[in-house]
């Protein structure tokens, strides 16, 4: 491995030396080239209004230029530039990436909560608010959009923010591409993509196999993924999009949380109890969806989708009673929205309906061997929503309003009556052009978030049924901001204030070490400042963002003024990218994460840390054939920090160490 590290370090150093004479050439070229930031067609806001005009805090990024030099191990690699967004758990593949956005989602013990995830127009988040990214085809990710604030007036339950992911429709100037990369800790990644474009039909088929031994003992994983996306132009005004995804992960191991003393003796060790109980998960995930877009002239458009998803999950936890979970989930839904636009006026009405059924069985975990069944119930969650969105522009002023009604019903076969939640969520936003290239904006919005079925079934009493003592949380958001665009540069700044009630946070019990339970922790207030900027020239791209915020409990139950655990008060991000005239690509990424707390009482502080990543690649063309070499160094300065913090963990087992400096390299061939 030392020889491998030396080879890659030499590659990066020689690359920098090699481009030095070309640096001047690219700089001279930029003097005669005019670069203007162009607005792209957005999906997440549900209107065609440019992001520079929208009266909301919004982040978007096109990944096409530098996607080829990423390791593509986790979505964390891509999202760092979004202010107010914090990710953890990128190296525990049994629990998936944890994402918090202005504090929403921080409670998650695994997966994503409180944030709506959408992939190519089809919801990935279940009706009860659970989301995961283990089935995301990172190798063909094209762009992402993020609404950084409560959005239940458009997206319903669990919409403290929205992450909208777009994948490629086809390969650029190629019919097939094979890519392979290798790296530290037994990392292997193999990808095969092929596409078809005959004018009316565009299709992309993608297959991916990835595996790793993991940084820590008992932290490896293996995954096989297959994805199809087809777009068919059925007429000049009608398009049908079909997508299919199948993901098989035969094993993703869980090394468990450690005490601080454990980490000081050996960062790579697994918790002994996790080894004793053979903790891991396996999944089979299938999803298919269809989307139909129909327009009538330039004013009317209908956008309709339908989908079905099945997830088979099997997992072992480090305790005996109920320590093995066997879950079968069926999830399906439909939605449609009718749009109208004419001379500065956009209006739409949308209807969505989705259903979820979870067959949850628990068994005794007899030191890694499945014992008798201790729990079995069929859980259900149905959701119906209808919304109206109106956007009007008069000269320099834009007014955007929306209102959504949601009816959510949840229950189980062991519960006599379903629980019903009926909620109305409004939003209103204004933006005003103070100059041709600058706007002020402000908005008010709200959100609600029901407990998920997995949280409700984690009943501290240990019996079947749902913990209906756990109530939904609600939040209101106020925001003021400014946006400016100058040719090559765009900047956005804003302040926000959010108040919530019935905040849901996890905790652990001595009888079930390693298992998360949930409770309402009263009211919170969140206030902060966000600043982000982007500069693009013909050969340079610079992204930067700053977040300064306070996320606090605001009632006596949790000691008024204590910080909500798991969320840093400050974040800084800087990324510098360069493409030379000889097709070398370089990307240097730096992040600074401020201190935060591991528990509600704020007695355990997690220190601030900084981490850097360096990536480089070179493209060589032979007619229609392209050969790409790329490599990278993660955690460039070998900083010791924690990849994940388990909130309110019993026995002070909060810590999951992150890998030190580690390398990867790869090659891709496009024909």
Contact 284, 253 (CB under 8 A): no
The rounded Cα 389 to chain-centroid distance in angstroms is: 25
Q: What is the mean pLDDT of residues 381-400?
A: 96
Please check the confidence at residue 301 and state whether its pLDDT lies above 60.
Answer: yes
Instruction: Give the span between the Cα atoms of 195 and 140, in whole angstroms.
Output: 12
Q: What is the pLDDT of residue 101?
A: 95
Strand partners, 372: none
Instruction: Give the span between the Cα atoms of 168 and 67, in whole angstroms.
Output: 11
Contact 53, 398 (CB under 8 A): yes
Please check the confidence at residue 7 and state whether its pLDDT lies above 90.
Answer: no
DSSP structure class, residue 660: -
At residue 556 the predicted structure's pLDDT band, cuts being 50, 70 and 90, is low
Under the phi-then-psi rule, with left for phi > 0, alpha for psi from -120 to 50, and beta for the rest, what region is 652?
left
Contact 164, 43 (CB under 8 A): yes
Strand duo 130-131 + 300-316: pairing: unpaired
**What class, spelled out in words, does domain 2-670 have in CATH?**
mainly beta
User: Among the residues of 151-201, which ranges form H helices?
Assistant: 152-155
Q: pLDDT by residue (tens digit) across 233-271? A: 999 999 999 999 999 999 999 999 999 999 999 999 999
Q: What is the pLDDT of residue 622?
A: 86
Q: What is the pLDDT of residue 36?
A: 53
- Domain positions in the chain: 2-670
Please check the confidence at residue 26 and state whether its pLDDT lies above 80.
Answer: no
User: Among the residues of 73-169, which ranges form H helices?
Assistant: 76-79, 152-155
Which residue, chain included where needed, has tokens 């890659």?
Answer: 8
Please check the confidence at residue 598 and state whether its pLDDT lies above 70.
Answer: yes
The three-class DSSP label of residue 20 is helix
Instruction: Give the span between the Cα atoms of 67 and 78, in whole angstroms.
Output: 9
Contacts of 17 (CB under 8 A, 6+ apart): none
Q: What is the pLDDT of residue 55?
A: 97
CB count within 10 Å of CB 417 equals: 7
Q: pLDDT by residue (tens digit) across 416-467? A: 888 999 999 999 999 999 998 999 999 999 999 999 998 888 877 666 778 8
Q: pLDDT by residue (tens digit) across 41-76? A: 789 999 989 999 999 999 999 998 899 999 999 999
Instruction: Give the span between the Cα atoms of 462 and 470, in whole angstroms.
Output: 15
Share of the chain above pLDDT 70, in %: 92
Report which listed range, 9-23, 450-464, 485-499, is most confident: 485-499
Instruction: Give the span between the Cα atoms of 666 and 647, in whole angstroms.
Output: 36
What is the total residue count of the chain?
671
DSSP structure class, residue 370: E
Q: What is the mean pLDDT of residues 652-661?
A: 96
Q: What's the mean per-residue pLDDT of the chain?
A: 91
Instruction: Give the span between the Cα atoms of 206 and 120, in whole angstroms.
Output: 15
Tokens of 319: 């305790």
Q: What is the pLDDT of residue 344?
A: 87
Tokens of 496: 């926000």
| Greater model confidence, 154 or 27 | 154
Q: What is the mean pLDDT of residues 319-338?
A: 95
At residue 17 the predicted structure's pLDDT band, cuts being 50, 70 and 90, is very low
């Amino acid at each position: 491995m030392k020889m491998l590290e030396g080879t890659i370090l030499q590659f990066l150093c020689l690359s920098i030396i090699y481009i030095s004479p070309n640096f001047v050439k690219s700089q001279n070229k930029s003097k005669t080239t005019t670069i203007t930031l162009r607005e792209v067609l957005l999906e997440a806001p549900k209107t065609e209004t440019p992001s520079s005009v929208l009266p909301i805090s919004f982040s978007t990024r096109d990944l096409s230029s530098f996607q080829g030099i990423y390791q593509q191990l986790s979505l964390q690699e891509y999202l760092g530039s979004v202010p107010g967004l914090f990710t953890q758990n990128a190296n525990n593949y049994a629990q998936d990436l944890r994402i918090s956005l202005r504090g929403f989602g921080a409670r998650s013990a695994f997966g994503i909560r409180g944030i709506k995830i959408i992939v190519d127009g089809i919801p990935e988040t279940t009706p009860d608010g659970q989301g995961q990214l283990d089935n995301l085809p990172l190798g063909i990710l094209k762009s992402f959009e993020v609404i950084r604030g409560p959005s239940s007036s458009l997206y319903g339950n669990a919409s403290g923010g929205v992450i909208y992911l777009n994948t490629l429709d086809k390969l650029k100037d190629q019919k097939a591409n094979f890519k392979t990369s290798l790296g530290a800790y037994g990392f292997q990644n193999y990808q095969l993509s092929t596409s078809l474009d005959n004018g009316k039909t565009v299709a992309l088929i993608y297959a991916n196999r990835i595996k790793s031994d993991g940084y820590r003992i008992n932290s490896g994983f293996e995954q096989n993924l297959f994805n199809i996306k087809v777009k068919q132009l059925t007429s000049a005004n009608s398009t049908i999009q079909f997508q299919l995804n199948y993901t098989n992960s035969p094993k993703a191991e869980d090394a468990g949380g450690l005490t601080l003393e454990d980490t000081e003796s050996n960062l790579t060790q697994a918790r002994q109890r996790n080894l004793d109980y053979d903790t891991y998960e396996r999944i089979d995930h299938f999803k298919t969806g269809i989307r139909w877009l129909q327009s009538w002239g330039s004013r009317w458009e209908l956008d309709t989708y339908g989908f079905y998803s099945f997830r088979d999950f099997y997992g072992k936890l480090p305790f005996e009673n109920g320590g093995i979970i066997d879950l079968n989930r069926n999830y399906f839904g439909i939605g449609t929205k009718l749009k109208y636009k004419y001379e500065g006026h956009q209006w739409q009405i949308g209807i969505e309906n989705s259903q979820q059924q979870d067959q949850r069985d628990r068994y005794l975990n007899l030191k890694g061997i499945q014992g008798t069944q201790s729990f079995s119930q069929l859980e259900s969650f149905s959701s119906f929503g209808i919304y109206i969105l109106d956007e009007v522009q008069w000269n320099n002023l834009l007014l955007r309003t929306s209102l959504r009604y949601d009816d959510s019903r949840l229950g189980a076969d062991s519960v006599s009556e379903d629980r019903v939640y009926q909620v109305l969520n409004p939003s209103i936003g204004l933006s005003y052009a103070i100059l041709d290239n600058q706007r002020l904006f402000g908005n008010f919005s709200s959100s609600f978030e029901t407990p998920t079925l997995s949280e409700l079934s984690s009943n501290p009493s240990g019996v079947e049924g749902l913990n209906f003592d756990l109530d939904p949380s609600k939040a209101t958001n106020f925001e003021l901001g400014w946006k400016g665009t100058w040719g090559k540069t765009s900047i956005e700044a804003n302040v926000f204030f959010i108040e919530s009630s019935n905040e849901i946070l996890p905790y652990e019990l001595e009888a079930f070490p390693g298992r998360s339970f949930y409770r309402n922790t009263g009211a919170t207030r969140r206030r902060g400042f966000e600043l982000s900027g982007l500069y693009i020239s013909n050969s340079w791209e610079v992204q930067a963002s700053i977040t300064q915020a306070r996320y606090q409990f605001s009632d006596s139950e949790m000691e008024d003024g204590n910080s909500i655990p798991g969320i840093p008060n400050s974040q800084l991000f800087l990324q510098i990218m360069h493409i030379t005239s000889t097709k070398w690509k370089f990307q240097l990424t730096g992040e600074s994460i401020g201190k935060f707390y591991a528990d509600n009482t704020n007695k355990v502080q997690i220190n601030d840390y900084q981490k850097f990543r360096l990536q480089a690649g070179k493209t060589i063309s032979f007619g229609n054939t392209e050969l790409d070499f790329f490599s990278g160094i993660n955690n460039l300065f070998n900083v010791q920090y924690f990849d994940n913090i388990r909130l309110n963990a019993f026995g002070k087992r909060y810590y999951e160490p992150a890998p030190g400096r580690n390398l990867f390299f790869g090659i891709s061939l496009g024909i």
